[in-house]
Homo-oligomer: A and B are copies of this chain.
Amino acid sequence: MASSSLDELILSLRCLPGVGQKSAQRMALHLLERDKAGARRIADALMSALENLKHCQQCRNFCDSPVCEICADEDRDQGTICVVETPADVIAVETSAAFRGRYFVLLGKLSPLDGFGPEQIGLDQLEQQLQKGNTREVILATSATVEGDITAQYIADFAARHGIASSRLARGIPLGGELEFVDSGTLSRALSGRQQIDQT
């Protein structure tokens, strides 16, 4: 191609997840031909995010201020902490609108072989919060994977030592799930965790 700053733009866009050569090229040309304002907006937003975003001192989620909006919100239940692996999980739980407590973002999961011990996922910080004594329940919303389960178990043991109850997200058939297409592991968990129907 003729132009080096266009080449560099196409190459740089390949840093985005799931974007290969063709998509990067389409994105670069789209921005330059049809949406220069959008290009400037992305560049500004990236620079501003790189400069301003830090981790919340309380929950380790991304935020611009020392303490994030959720942690600073007095209306939210201070007694429940939902422990998640990533900032994306916070967005997912917030979108469900089913939780009004606070979060704690591990930014990883226990995986000693990869160098992720309790300290790397901020458990010392979580312990400080549990020691404050106003936490009633820790909801363990780590992934439904082996590492997620181990991390959840570790934190549950650790909360128990502080006399705090822990819970794990329910496992079962997803909403709208048809039995035929549900995998056998999920089905077996759904069977063993079946719930009684209230008699009216």
Known A-B contacts A43-B47, A62-B2; the reply to A16 vs B9 at CB < 8 A is no
Number of chain A residues close to chain B: CB under 8 A:
58
Q: How long is the Cα–Cα vector from A10 to B20 in the complex, in angstroms?
A: 20
Closest approach, in angstroms, between the C-beta of A67 and any C-beta of chain B? 9
Q: Nearest chain-B residue to A67 (Cβ)?
A: B2
| B2 x A53 contact (CB < 8 A) | no
Assembly of this chain: how many copies?
A: 2
Main secondary structure of the interface of A (DSSP, over half): helix
Known: A13-B42, A15-B42. A32 touches B62 (CB 8 A): yes
Interface residues of A (CB under 8 A from B): 1-6, 8-9, 11-13, 15-18, 23, 25-33, 35-36, 38-50, 52-53, 56, 61-64, 68-71, 86-88, 90-91, 94, 107
